[in-house]
Amino acid sequence: MSSPQSVDFVFFGGTGDLAMRKLLPALYHLHRKGDLADGGRVIGVAREALSRDEYVARVREQCSKRIAAAQFRDDVFDAFARRLDYVRLDAGQPDDFKALATVLDTAGAEVRIFYLSTAPDLFAPICGNLAQASVVQPNSRVVLEKPIGRDIASARTTNDCVGRSFTEGQIFRIDHYLGKEPVQNLMALRFGNVLFEPLWNRTWVRDVQLTIAEQVGVERRGRFYDHVGAVRDMVQSHLLQLLCIIAMEPPATIAPDAVRDEKVKVLRALDPLHGTELGARTVRGQYRAGVIDGKPVVGYLDEPDIPADSHTETFIAIKAEINNWRWSGVPFYLRTGKRMPERTAEIVVNFRAVPHSIFPEALGTLQGNRMEIELQPEESLKLYLTAKRPGEDMHLGPVHLNLDFGEQFTTAPMDAYERLLMDVVRGQLTLFLRRDEVDAAWQWVEPILRGWEAEGSRPKPYTAGTWGPAASSVLLGRDGSAWQEES
């Protein structure tokens, strides 16, 4: 798996939360396992005045906190630290990029990867200044974190600006959920086995539920989050990408454009939500004070940097429908929220019940089969079936088959960012978003946001530590269904 080429990683936002919490620990692991070729560097870029030694000390401190004690070794980090460097730079100042160019031109690697872990409005000036400083080469790549824009117009403007400095084949729009092991296995199960394909359609699937729940509130990102909200933060990216993996047609090959062509078809087939449909098929909420894990937490409006009259949603539930032959009439329920009872991300595929039960009700209620794909906090895939309970009499009950990757495979699963960073190194675009994917997602999401703005209504309140407004349960109840934790 090791990289055949030496790579210089340049992290804009190199002192930020994502870099310290995810990106640099992922690179430490890749270094520890020998996946990074010799000679490459990891260059942090930020406005803060730091020496190289101060930056290395900060990275060491954060990595020692984030990495398991059994995997963090001082001698390994010392070797990793020899790759580290730091450049003070203001993204809006073209002259500051000269210092970066000087560093890159000194013992430069074969591949340059510019990772933009910054606010989206900095993507365009950073890419423009990189090109002006003549540091973008044919073998360079740029990684863009979500969200790309806050609506169709700004997303297109950003993509236009980035596209003037990098070709489409050099642009890696990242969604780390696509790098998670269960999502990879979902593709393998769907397209590597004949068992599921005959069932993967409107005839046998009753509904699909996709949930990303967070226990945390806005933390120290109040000003940013109030400008974004749950739809822009999670639906337009993570949830729609998971929906595409579930609903897409089998691609002709695993080649990047073959896979992404099928994902775009799903996005373009989503039934638009506007007018009366918007009120009937969406529920938005905003958390109030409550209790999480036995500790009281404040409501959203009492968080730092949140306006007292904010209408920003911290919870959203949507009933989505796909207008094509495979999925017509099958509801896809999307849900995400902050201050939920637990941190979880899961996909639940509910199959239809048997058309006729030969068993009397006294023997047990037959439930439809279902598949549960858990993405976090653990990674697992379970298939629920009906079976006879042990004993002399015939009594029925649910059992599940657990695809335990830890037991089946001795190789430990890769972290999502480790996998995706290596894909960037190799130039492998399959798990990254193409420009028309971003555009198609915004075309479905933006009318929802505009509809709420036109209504002027407030999000429904829900108590922190609960699963959102009661209307979220009603959304499914009207179809005779229920969220997984309620069923």
d(CA 6, CA 366): 57
Q: Which residue has the tokens 């949930």?
A: 211
CB neighbours (10 Å) of residue 308?
6
Per the CB < 8 A criterion, the answer to whether 111 and 141 are in contact is yes
Q: Which residue has the tokens 């080429």?
A: 5
Which helix (H) or strand (E) covers residue 62, if one does?
helix 52-66
Which of 245-252's residues contact partners 24+ apart within 8 Å by CB, and which partners?
245/178, 245/183, 245/186, 245/187, 246/186, 246/208, 246/210, 246/332, 246/347, 246/349, 247/208, 247/322, 247/326, 247/327, 247/332, 249/326, 250/190, 250/191, 250/197, 251/191
Four-residue CA torsion sign, 212, 216, 217, 222: negative
356 is catalytic: no
Instruction: Determine whether 448 is exposed, middle or buried from the number of CB atoms within 10 Å of its CB (0-12, 13-18, 19+).
Output: buried
Please state at what angle helix 416-426 crosses helix 24-32, rounded to 10 degrees.
Answer: 70
DSSP of 8-34: EEEEETTTSHHIIIIIHHHHHHHHHTT
- Active-site option among 176, 227, 238, 395: 238
Using CA atoms, how far apart are residues 13 and 44, in angstroms rounded to an integer?
A: 7
Handedness of CA 263, 440, 216, 459 (dihedral sign): negative
The DSSP H or E segment spanning 116 is strand 111-116
Q: Give Cα 426 to chain centroid, integer Å.
A: 21
C-beta separation of 351 from 368 below 8 A: yes
Which residues are paired to 344 by β-bridges?
Answer: 213
Spatial separation of the C-alpha atoms in residues 312 and 70, rounded to whole Å: 42
Helix axes 74-81, 24-32, angle to 10 degrees: 110
**Using the 8-state DSSP alphabet, how is residue 199 labeled?**
G
The upper half-sphere exposure of residue 395, i.e. CA atoms within 13 Å in the direction of its Cβ, equals 5
**What is the three-class DSSP state of 273?**
coil
Closest among 386, 370, 388 to 196, alpha carbons compared: 370
Is the CB of residue 76 less than 8 Å from the CB of residue 103? no
The residues carrying an active-site annotation are 238
